[in-house]
Structure 1
């Protein structure tokens, strides 16, 4: 005979079934309890552990563990559960059952990495500019390689600097984080497209503390602020709730020859991780983050120090951040496709003229894959590389600007 169970959890999730049976043998009544739990793997294999206990007339009889493994056959997952022998008095039974899944096993869930520079919430990265002479700001709303529209949110005194861009409200639209270089005050523009809807002041810090990165480290959909003390190497994280600092923590200190080179979700868990670079020997390290806690540190590799990380983004659309590099001596550009804290593969894209600087990495066309924005420091020309993994699939030049305008931050 057999029993039928339905395991409906998504791949990678936990499932469990509990069965209680009454068995009569040789005039004694035994109660058998079997609890099976496990996971469904991406290839359709069901893995489970089935501890079970048999109670005879209210007393403990025996217990054990049986391992269940089954493979996908069409849409049917089958398993067999075997009992144990009681020493001196054989008592053994076998259960069989089936799990029928409707349709094919679904693919693993990929959490898309949103571009942090999307000001109007259309899923496409935009560009924010600052005039280094006047303090004026400008936003280009982008559609791939084309500038769809431009807006001018306003001007700010030059002792205020744009320290980062990120969605601090969770509305899917990027906001602007400012820092006063004179007194250390932090201000945030809440944005709706190119319009500043309100301004908040979450706090201040001594000017030895510098905002190094902006990203969602606790997975609540709201960007947080990562700080570094330029004097002693300590780090701090402000967990943000809109324009308010919800809490602050200090993950630890790192020697000053290590610099924060970027931030991105390396593991695909929806939480930003911190990428470090050693300025002395070129080593790369990754802090895997869970909120303000460093859960692990990985060292994917190293390069010569004339290579610089130009940006961090998910180039192949698998939900895990990758690195783009530029060599300051040879002007060669390369990409590391990452799998957590390990290099899955790497590719040299080619060389570009030394006047071109990688300004931004983000999904410019809404296909779920990071693209590259470059600016010519001599001419002011802007270019967008549309990427598919390590392949350049399109290139465009949306406009040329005065050299006094810089892409922020």
Structure 2
């Protein structure tokens, strides 16, 4: 069985069309009878829009994207007596349009756009083409193609000045498949520079071998003899996938392989060059079960490569976010059907909105996950896509516990006690959170970011106006400020914390209605306002902060029940409400703000304990609870709101308060 990722070779060279947060929408399934087992996405007809090619039962179909950003009806292609094994794409004639590459037992077939449709070109070989990769091997500006069979037999097709592929040049490698039970085996090739000479090397991984292989470029157009790299002792499984990407921004690619087993064996292994020029294991990332697919791309446009991981058999793909500090420790997982051995992943902008989308071939057909601006990560003050806990001292100091870890701190500057921290958010969309502070004496306002001077924003001298929440109300990937007038009940939103970019919000003159929280409860990419009436216990949600979308939710007339946080506790992309009874210590979570769909939380009958903050403190995409004992100063984290998975933190005296 093949894993197909060559599309990522072309995509990784492109710049994203945006910068800011990123996430995938819930999947959409395009069903093919009998399913699909390979997919490739790129611009096949030169109109600047990405299209999709899908292999099913030996033939393939092409779906062209139209001017509305919609994939059209599939058009079938095939050859008599030829069963296609794999699909990819490359620009072999350097005209800016991607050709479709199809491997089969007799070699390689190329389909190229002729102005009205696709023309076929056959390139026979003595070797089969079970999997492939492409790159410019001879530095002529055109892509060349490497095909690999099951017995270490490779064929290299060089692009000629005519823009067509020449006869294959044969090469022997050490990547073999056994003849029996072929569908159990996964192999992948990459053509990327990992030796530092700016020429593509050949990387091979096969889960039939306890090593991966690197064949350095020979400086002309071929490869030198390969070097094998053994996996660390103790790992009894082998990677069939491999990726090379610059994770730390130093200009050199690291090599990434996986250990496709169940936790705690499951791991992502990162290798980088040492002083001798050899690759050495530099980092091991924990990951979800059975990681078999790897694909790198800068999804959020921050200048650092992110890593997409497919978990076969677990209906999910995970995303590790890249930053100046390398990959995030945590993995944000998205639900999508994948087979026990996923055979096809490809990235492309399939609706022409400037965000990268993911296509996955599976037994349904193709599952599409469209990219969109991501929610700003709650209280992420250092840009690592993991929430932090912000402390403010009554004397004016501000300190963050990175990832809620009391041993890893960061100073956010000093502001005298007249300044009140009223909100946090990513107001400029750069992935690093800022703290909004308001001067309770003068009405001055400012944003503070770690390591930067304060940014002054428009003052509001009327001190009846206070910020009561922050969230991305318009879905642009940047946090906005929600203001409420404590005297007359007027409300307004400053988009991206800009006074001149206001959004009017219906006033609520009954001041007993209070903003209890802000979150995206309907998973539409826009923050909603949760209102709670202080005396009657009624509750309501304003979708995207609009009164006209008001949705009453179950009243809680016992006002000892208080909303103590908003977060996504079941990783479904919708925010949930955390409730705590301050009289009894009972706790519960309303999933998607639905009283009828509750998640139990262990009671904490000592009511000195409060949920001081909610955030994703391990970066796994699931929110956690940060508890504080207001009397003793003790603190602890409950991961995924589960008491059995907690991490005690340092005790902090009452001079310090957590900023929600």
TM-score, shorter chain, exceeding 0.5: yes
Q: Which residue of 2 aligns with 1:116?
A: 378
Q: Which residue of 1 aligns with 2:501?
A: 247
Matches within 5 A, 1:37-186: 103=362, 104-106=365-367, 113-132=375-394, 134-142=395-403, 146-186=405-445
Q: Give yes or no for contact 2:375–2:477 (8 Å, CA) kept in 1.
A: no
Q: Which residue of 2 aligns with 1:81?
A: none
Q: Give yes or no for contact 1:233–1:253 (8 Å, CA) kept in 2.
A: yes
Does 1:379 find its partner at 2:632? yes
Q: Distance in 2 between matches of 1:366 and 1:167?
A: 17
CA drift of 1:238 comes to 0.7
CA drift of 1:345 comes to 0.9
Q: Which residue of 2 aligns with 1:362?
A: 615
What secondary structure does 1:240 align onto?
helix
Counterpart of 1:288 (choices 543, 552, 555) is: 543
CA drift of 1:397 comes to 1.1
- Give deviations 1:51-109, integer Å, cap 9, x for gaps: xxxxxxxxxxxxxxxxxxxxxxxxxxxxxxxxxxxxxxxxxxxxxxxxxx954331655
- Give deviations 1:284-336, integer Å, cap 9, x for gaps: 100001xx644511112111211000000111111110000100110111111
Q: Distance in 2 between matches of 1:384 and 1:109?
A: 33
Q: Distance in 2 between matches of 1:394 and 1:321?
A: 21
CA drift of 1:391 comes to 4.6
Q: Check 1:275–1:354 CA distance in 2 against 1; reply closer, same or farther (3 A cut).
A: same
CA drift of 1:378 comes to 0.9
Q: Which residue of 1 aligns with 2:107?
A: none
Q: Distance in 2 between matches of 1:256 and 1:198?
A: 32
**Structure 1 segments of 4+ aligned residues over 3 angstroms from their partners:** 4-9, 13-18, 101-105, 107-114, 145-148, 292-295, 341-344, 390-393
What secondary structure does 1:164 align onto?
strand
Q: Distance in 2 between matches of 1:8 and 1:366?
A: 37
- Give deviations 1:123-157, integer Å, cap 9, x for gaps: 2111111111x211111112xx6435113333211
Ranges in structure 2 where 5+ consecutive residues have no aligned partner: 1-59, 75-359
Does 1:256 find its partner at 2:511? yes
The TM-score with structure 1 as length reference comes to 0.69
What secondary structure does 1:106 align onto?
strand
Q: Distance in 2 between matches of 1:251 and 1:181?
A: 23
Q: Check 1:152–1:17 CA distance in 2 against 1; reply closer, same or farther (3 A cut).
A: closer
Does 1:305 find its partner at 2:559? yes
CA drift of 1:362 comes to 0.9
Q: Distance in 2 between matches of 1:113 and 1:384?
A: 22
Q: Distance in 2 between matches of 1:383 and 1:371?
A: 11
Q: Check 1:393–1:106 CA distance in 2 against 1; reply closer, same or farther (3 A cut).
A: farther
Ranges in structure 1 where 5+ consecutive residues have no aligned partner: 19-100
Does 1:349 find its partner at 2:601? yes
Number of equivalent positions: 309
Q: Check 1:170–1:113 CA distance in 2 against 1; reply closer, same or farther (3 A cut).
A: closer
- Give deviations 1:366-401, integer Å, cap 9, x for gaps: 0001111111111111110101xx654510112111
Matches within 5 A, 1:329-348: 329-338=583-592, 342-343=594-595, 345-348=597-600
Q: Distance in 1 between matches of 2:548 and 2:477?
A: 20
- Give deviations 1:144-201, integer Å, cap 9, x for gaps: x643511333321111100110011111111010001112221111x2xx42344222
Q: Distance in 2 between matches of 1:6 and 1:280?
A: 61
Q: Distance in 2 between matches of 1:102 and 1:201?
A: 49
Q: Give yes or no for contact 1:333–1:350 (8 Å, CA) kept in 2.
A: yes
CA drift of 1:258 comes to 0.8
Counterpart of 2:490 (choices 217, 234, 237) is: 234
Q: Check 1:164–1:380 CA distance in 2 against 1; reply closer, same or farther (3 A cut).
A: same
Q: Distance in 1 between matches of 2:652 and 2:452?
A: 23
